Amino acid sequence: MGVLLIFISQLRSPLEKLWFNLDCLFFDTQQDKTRPQATDTMSDIIPITRVGYDKLRAELDELENVQMPAVTKRIAEARAEGDLKENAEYHGARESQGMLQAKINMLKDKLNRASIVDMSKLPKDEVVFGCRVKVKDLDFGDTEEFILVGAGEEDFDEGKINITSPLAQGLVGKKVGDKAEVEVPAGVNKFEILEINFAEE
């Protein structure tokens, strides 16, 4: 226990502490998947919401069961036309197949490393993974809202930012009324935390 307390005290940033806490809260998303071993690094794990996980699964299903069969059919039809050297349709279909397979592999990798976070066990009074946080820009006076999400769930139009991004790192661990400073290439952005809430309970 003493060693564990020393380890926690040596975590240097709010994000590192969050990773440590999340590692204790993750539950397996697949029956044949085991808990990450000691050889795994924190960067191997992708924290994700249930909504985000289901979205990736649906996208993978569409690629494997709809788009890939369609491309395979195009290739077969192009082959049947004869000479492949001058067959633009064949080469175009093969290129599409390669790009499609690369995307499928990427999604499978994300899903294999994904761990759905049990949101009910995270603190509700501070900025953590999965929360929606409203901040005030102390330099310009305007307000913005962000949702902290995992890799693959980012959507800047909806204010969804990756938990590992510099902005999210600067906000993690802060409570309503706290000030946050985020280092950017142009200097330092200063924010005040106005509200924290959760879209998914």
Q: Identify which has the larger pLDDT, 185 or 95.
A: 95
SS3 assignment, position 190 = strand
Task: Return the ∠ at Cα 153 (arms to 160 and 193), rounded to 5°.
Answer: 25
Least confident of 80-94, 124-138, 165-179: 80-94
Q: Is the pLDDT of residue 49 over 70?
A: yes
Q: Which of the two residues, 193 and 121, has the higher pLDDT score?
A: 193
- Is residue 76's pLDDT more than 80? yes
Band of pLDDT at residue 35, cut at 50, 70 and 90? very low
Q: Collapsing DSSP states into helix, strand and coil, what is residue 167?
A: helix
CA nearest neighbour of 191 among 125, 172, 82, 199: 172
Residue 183 DSSP symbol:
E
Residue given tokens 């924010």 in the structure block: 191
Copy the structure tokens of residue 168: 């999210």
Tell me which of 14-18, 32-36, 44-48, 187-191 is least confident: 32-36
CATH class of 119-198: alpha beta
Q: Is the dihedral of CA 176, 6, 47, 124 positive or negative?
A: negative
Residues 8 and 90: their CA atoms lie apart, in Å, by 57
* CB-CB contact of 145 with 167 (8 Å): no
Q: Are 1 and 9 in contact (CB under 8 A)?
A: no
Q: Which residue has the higher pLDDT, 25 or 45?
A: 45
In this prediction, residue 200 carries a pLDDT of: 54
* Ranges of each domain in the chain: 50-115, 119-198
* Coil/strand/helix, residue 109: helix
Choose from 21-35, 130-144, 151-165 the range with maximum mean pLDDT. 130-144
The reply to whether CATH 1.10.10.60 applies to domain 50-115 is no
Share of the chain above pLDDT 90, in %: 45
pLDDT in the model for residue 22:
46
Please give the pLDDT value at position 45: 82
Helices and strands (H, E) in the chain, number of each type: 6, 7
Q: Average pLDDT, stretch 183-189?
A: 87
